[in-house]
Amino acid sequence: MELLKIENLHTIASDDESMNILKGLNLTINKGEIHVIMGPNGAGKSTLANTILNSPKYIVKEGNIYFEGNNINDLKTNERASLGIFMSFQSPVEIPGISVSNFIKSSLNNKEKVNLYEYIKELESTMKELDIEEGKEHRDLNVGFSGGEKKKNEILQMLMMKPKLAILDEIDSGLDIDAIKTVSKGINMFKNDDNAILMITHSTKILENLDNYIVHVLIDGKIVDTGDKSLAIEIDKNGYNKYL
């Protein structure tokens, strides 16, 4: 059942090696689970997400990351992605010259040859579920998209690519209530007993439509508290003062 295991993870910023960000972080995520990371700005939440996928912005100085029981410390970003790790971005980039549809299809073709008819059928159905306007799949990736459209597009990619672990880094930031509900719907569509989600958020709004999630409080590079949805409600009400 164990999908991701992080042991005693210490990371620094690659452009400032005096900046210790993660300071002995431990985390285990099993299949079928949703884990929510909450914490104040600068606590290391996005650093954790980026370190799991080996961003060049961060250097692991100590500790290990295991995926399905195998140490992935020495794997490149694309190799980790090929294992089934997906990450959505706080600010999805615009990529002129490649359409949404071709981007997703190319990613899927890396695993196995895509049946074009079945692919188009599934893509159109998934777009409809996410209230994505017909024709958007032919537009250049995120070019001219609103913030909400970019975030929905990230969820579309997740649902089509079907990773084993989806890391959602502030997928709800900048979204209105209706868009948050749509993104929550996509998360519920994705979740099953064979995959897992690691979600980073500042708000409890997106959690209102999710069930059975585990909340972790990240302070100064370490997880200092873990609980259920009641912990998220407490943080929403009282903030992080008791941990600081």
The candidate with the shortest Cα–Cα distance to 25, out of 68, 1, 61, 78, is 61
- Ranges of residues in the chain whose predicted pLDDT is under 70: none
Q: Determine whether domain 2-243 maps to CATH 3.40.50.300.
A: yes
**pLDDT at residue 174, rounded to an integer:** 84
Strand partners, 215: 36, 227
Q: Which helix (H) or strand (E) covers residue 169, if one does?
A: strand 165-169
**pLDDT at residue 156, rounded to an integer:** 97
pLDDT digits (tens, 9 = 90+) for 1-53: 899 999 999 999 998 888 899 999 999 999 999 999 999 999 999 999 999 99
Tell me the pTM: 0.94
